[in-house]
């Protein structure tokens, strides 16, 4: 206990020193050139030291907190030293005590920026190095940075950047100082490069939540180093990025429980609220101070009040953002319902329920909501809210939402938000239930239809068809047996009977051929054609392409399928083609079915001599049966069959 008091006291003392440096820089800033930079540096110092002090208090043995405290302290010494020296030498009469030596502390800003981008990245997020070999690049950075900082601080050029006159202590320029400086720079650069490359590899291989924790820090410190040494940028960009270094640590603690630290939501909400209020007051106060120096008291006060009023909406937005970050959408149920509607409108049917439950969980900042169907066992767990889901007086289930953390119950605002979301969730659950029921009923009807269709086809093909064929053969045998000996009346009756039987057999064949193909009901026109293409000769490559087709009338869909099926069968049997293409598109209220191949082609009159199949006459008859037409183009480069079928069927 005593050791924790000592460590926390040391960290808090360092933070108070940073605050003292900020106070000095804020007082000196308006009175010396470029004094604002010292103020910004001290803001960064206070943020780092304060964040580090909090981590030291919670995890005193972890190196991350101490490194942040050290970073803040070095930045405070640099910015405070610059402010003290600039005013103490250039403005004060006589010079302030030790003003010139203190000015040389200004180069301590260098380690305060390099350490977070190297050593902190190497230690983050566990506070320990990932492997033993990491010690070498970290030691190289420490050693090189120490030498470069000392040699730069003890140079006349660095002193002249802050104040004029001779520096109190200057390192002589000899061969050994040059060699030491070059070696330090090489060690520093090599250490930085090794740490960065290894960090990228570690980031790729890391798993959640370590990857997210490390990514937040890396995405801040790498650009910060570029702005420091390579790319010039405005001061506000630089300080904003620098403040995100402790900010990324705070995100790791609050959102990803860095080092196992669990922050109370009430505490986090209070801290965010205090931060918003502080930013608002600081901006308003600084503006009022600036305006007070440039305007007379009364106009300056009026302008300051107007500025505070103008900043009011921004403060409200920041406050709403802080509330949403911690507690979700509890203060804005309308926005939560709107977001739920947007997710429902944009989600696929398979992802609809997960999207709805994810929106509820996000709106309430809880782990995972779930739906329990009527009759299913409810999940256990204390603190879980169960909201009945009803649509049209019918129970469709229960929405179960677990509490955010053990011992953190939902507030009245959370319950009101959940009550606003529950009816929308119920509608989605009921819609999915009806969709599933409709799909099951469709499957049942299709199964029954297929079974009945197969029975009719089997009865006609295996029963009535052979019987009629047998009757026809019997009549033909009677005619052969009589061999002209029958009278004219008997011969006429036998001929008429045979013609009737042949006609009936043809009608049975027409009925069998006219039954709707089963694949059209199972998968649709385009997949059915693709399935048929796969059953053709392996040496024939068939490509089926189709634009977005509207809902087709059943007779048109059947005719298109049969025409394409017959055309592909003819290509496989007779064309000697290597490839064929089936294209379907709609234009001008008509469905255009094109079957083209790269075969040898044929004379159109040759179709009547082909054995087997119904040929072009059958395809043309199918097209005409629905009010369409069929054309055939054949030559040495292949054959093209084009059917134009009206979408409205026969007129």
Q: Which two tokens stand for residue 138?
A: 């970290």
pLDDT tens per residue across span 92-133 = 888 888 888 888 877 777 888 888 889 989 988 888 898 899
Question: What confidence score (pLDDT) does residue 609 get?
Answer: 45
Label each residue of 134-179 as H, E or C.
HHHHHHHHHHHHHHHHHHHHCCHHHHHCCCCCCCCCCCCCCHHHHH
Question: What confidence score (pLDDT) does residue 514 get?
Answer: 58
Query: Rounded CA gap, 347 and 338, in Å?
Result: 14
Q: Which of 539, 587, 572 is nearest to 639 (CA)?
A: 572
pLDDT top residue among 95 and 310: 95
Place of tokens 């603190």: 383
Question: What confidence score (pLDDT) does residue 262 get?
Answer: 46
Label each residue of 344-381 as H, E or C.
HHHCCCCCHHHHHHHHHHHHHCCCCCEEECCCCCCCCC
pLDDT top residue among 360 and 200: 200
User: DSSP assignment, residue 258?
Assistant: G
CA dihedral for 148, 149, 151, 152, sign (positive or negative): positive
* Strands (E) located in 381-508: 385-391, 394-401
Mean pLDDT of 125-148: 90
Helix (H, G, I), strand (E, B) or coil at 496: helix
pLDDT tens per residue across span 492-529 = 776 777 777 777 766 666 665 556 677 777 778 888 88
Confidence of residue 270 (pLDDT cuts 50, 70, 90): very low
pLDDT at residue 292 greater than cutoff 50: no
Question: What confidence score (pLDDT) does residue 194 get?
Answer: 93
CB atoms within 10 A of CB 29: 19
Query: Rounded CA gap, 252 and 127, in Å?
Result: 13
pLDDT tens per residue across span 360-406 = 777 766 777 778 787 777 666 666 777 788 887 788 888 877 776 66
Q: Which of 568, 524, 565 is nearest to 546 (CA)?
A: 524
CB 224 within 8 A of CB 242: yes
Confidence of residue 608 (pLDDT cuts 50, 70, 90): very low
Q: Which of 62, 199, 74, 197 is nearest to 146 (CA)?
A: 74
Query: Rounded CA gap, 517 and 521, in Å?
Result: 8
Mean pLDDT of 215-223: 85
Question: What confidence score (pLDDT) does residue 308 get?
Answer: 54
Query: Rounded CA gap, 523 and 521, in Å?
Result: 6
This prediction's pTM: 0.48
Least trusted range by pLDDT, from 402-406, 615-619, 627-631: 402-406
pLDDT top residue among 471 and 256: 471
Query: Rounded CA gap, 78 and 447, in Å?
Result: 82
Half-sphere exposure of 25 (CA within 13 A, CB side): 28
Question: What confidence score (pLDDT) does residue 85 get?
Answer: 85
* Terminal CA-CA length for the chain: 95
Confidence of residue 295 (pLDDT cuts 50, 70, 90): very low
Bridge partners (DSSP) listed for residue 541? 579
pLDDT at residue 139 greater than cutoff 90: yes
Question: What confidence score (pLDDT) does residue 506 get?
Answer: 65
Mean pLDDT of the chain: 76
Label each residue of 587-651 as H, E or C.
ECCEEEEEEEECCCCCCHHHHHHCCCCCHHHHHHHHHHHCCCEEEEEEECCEEEEEEEEECCCCC
Confidence of residue 356 (pLDDT cuts 50, 70, 90): confident
Q: How many residues does the chain have?
A: 651
Helix (H, G, I), strand (E, B) or coil at 445: helix
Helix (H, G, I), strand (E, B) or coil at 408: strand
Percent of all residues in the chain with a pLDDT value above 70, rounded to a whole number? 74
Question: What confidence score (pLDDT) does residue 328 get?
Answer: 54
Helix (H, G, I), strand (E, B) or coil at 50: helix
Is the omega angle on the peptide bond into residue 642 within 30 degrees of 0, that is, cis? Answer: no
pLDDT at residue 190 greater than cutoff 90: yes
Mean pLDDT of 486-497: 70
pLDDT top residue among 351 and 103: 103
612 burial level (CB within 10 Å; 0-12, 13-18, 19+): exposed
pLDDT tens per residue across span 569-594 = 888 877 778 888 899 988 888 889 99
CB 388 within 8 A of CB 351: no
Which H helix or E strand runs over 584?
A: strand 579-587
Question: What confidence score (pLDDT) does residue 450 get?
Answer: 62
Query: Rounded CA gap, 617 and 594, in Å?
Result: 17
pLDDT at residue 325 greater than cutoff 60: no
Confidence of residue 266 (pLDDT cuts 50, 70, 90): very low
Question: What confidence score (pLDDT) does residue 315 get?
Answer: 56
Bridge partners (DSSP) listed for residue 388? 398
pLDDT tens per residue across span 434-483 = 888 888 887 777 667 667 666 776 666 666 667 766 777 776 777 676 76
Confidence of residue 537 (pLDDT cuts 50, 70, 90): low
Confidence of residue 142 (pLDDT cuts 50, 70, 90): very high
Question: What confidence score (pLDDT) does residue 461 get?
Answer: 63
Question: What confidence score (pLDDT) does residue 156 get?
Answer: 82
Question: What confidence score (pLDDT) does residue 526 get?
Answer: 87
Query: Rounded CA gap, 301 and 278, in Å?
Result: 20
Question: What confidence score (pLDDT) does residue 613 get?
Answer: 41
> In sequence order, what are the residues at sequence separation of 6 or more whose Cβ sits closer than 8 angstroms to the Cβ of residue 105?
77, 78, 81, 153
Distance of CA 15 to the CA centre of its chain: 40
Mean pLDDT of 32-50: 84
> In sequence order, what are the residues at sequence separation of 6 or more whose Cβ sits closer than 8 angstroms to the Cβ of residue 326?
265, 268, 269, 272, 365
CB 259 within 8 A of CB 249: no
């Amino acid at each position: 206990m005593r050791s924790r008091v000592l460590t926390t006291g040391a960290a808090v003392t360092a933070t108070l020193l940073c605050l003292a440096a900020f106070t000095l820089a804020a007082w000196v800033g308006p009175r010396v050139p470029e004094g604002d930079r010292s103020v910004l540096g001290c803001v960064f110092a206070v943020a780092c030291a304060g964040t580090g002090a909090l981590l030291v208090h919670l995890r005193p043995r972890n190196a991350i907190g101490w490194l942040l405290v050290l970073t803040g302290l070095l930045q405070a010494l640099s910015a405070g030293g610059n402010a003290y020296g600039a005013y103490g030498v250039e403005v004060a009469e006589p010079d302030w005590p030790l003003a010139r030596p203190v000015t040389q502390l200004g180069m301590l800003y260098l380690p305060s920026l390099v350490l977070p981008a190297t050593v902190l990245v190497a230690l983050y997020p566990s506070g320990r190095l990932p492997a033993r070999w990491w010690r070498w690049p970290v030691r190289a950075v420490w050693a090189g940075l120490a030498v470069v900082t000392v040699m730069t601080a003890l140079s006349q050029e660095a002193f002249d950047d802050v104040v004029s006159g001779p520096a109190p202590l200057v390192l002589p320029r000899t061969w050994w100082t040059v060699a030491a400086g070059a070696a330090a720079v090489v060690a520093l650069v090599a250490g930085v490069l090794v740490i960065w490359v290894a960090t990228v590899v570690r980031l790729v291989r890391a798993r959640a939540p370590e990857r997210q924790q490390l990514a937040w820090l890396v995405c801040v410190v790498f650009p910060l180093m570029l702005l420091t040494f390579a790319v010039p940028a405005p001061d506000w960009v630089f300080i904003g990025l620098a403040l995100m270094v402790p900010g990324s640590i705070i995100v790791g603690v609050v959102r990803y429980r860095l080092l196992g630290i669990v922050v109370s939501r009430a505490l986090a909400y209070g801290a965010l609220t205090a931060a918003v209020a502080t930013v608002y007051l600081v901006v308003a106060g600084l503006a009022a101070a600036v305006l007070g120096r440039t305007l007379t008291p009364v106009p300056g006060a009026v302008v300051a009040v107007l500025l505070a009023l103008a900043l009011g909406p921004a403060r409200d937005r920041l406050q709403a953002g802080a509330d949403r970050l911690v507690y979700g959408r509890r203060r804005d149920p309308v926005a939560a319902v709107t977001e739920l509607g947007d997710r429902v409108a944009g989600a696929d049917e398979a992802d609809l329920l997960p999207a709805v439950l994810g929106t509820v969980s996000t709106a309430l900042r809880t782990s995972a909501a779930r739906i329990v169907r009527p009759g299913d066992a409810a999940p256990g767990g204390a603190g879980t809210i169960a909201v009945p889901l009803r649509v049209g007086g019918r129970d469709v289930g229960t929405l179960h939402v677990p509490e955010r953390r053990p011992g953190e119950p939902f507030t009245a605002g959370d319950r009101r938000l959940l009550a606003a979301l529950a009816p929308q969730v119920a509608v989605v659950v009921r819609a999915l239930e009806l969709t599933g029921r409709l799909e099951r009923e469709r499957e049942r009807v299709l199964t029954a239809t297929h079974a009945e269709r197969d029975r009719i086809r089997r009865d006609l093909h295996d029963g009535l068809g052979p019987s009629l064929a047998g009757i026809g053969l019997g009549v033909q045998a009677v005619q052969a047996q009589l061999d002209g000996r029958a009278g004219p009346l008997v011969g006429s009756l036998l001929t008429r009977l045979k013609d009737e039987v042949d006609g009936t057999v043809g009608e049975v064949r027409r009925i069998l051929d006219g039954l709707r193909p089963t694949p059209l009901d199972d998968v649709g026109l385009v997949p059915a054609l693709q399935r048929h293409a796969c059953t053709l000769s392996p040496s024939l490559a068939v490509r089926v392409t189709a634009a977005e087709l509207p809902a087709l009338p059943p007779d048109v869909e059947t005719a298109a399928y049969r025409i394409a099926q017959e055309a592909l069968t003819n290509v496989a049997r007779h064309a000697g083609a290597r490839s064929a293409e089936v294209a379907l598109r709609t234009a001008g209220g008509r469905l255009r079915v094109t079957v083209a191949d790269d075969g040898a082609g044929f004379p159109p009159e040759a179709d009547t001599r082909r054995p087997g199949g119904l040929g072009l006459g059958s395809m043309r008859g199918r097209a005409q049966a629905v009010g369409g037409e069929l054309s055939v183009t054949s030559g040495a480069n292949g054959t093209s069959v084009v059917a134009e079928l009206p979408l409205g069927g026969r007129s």
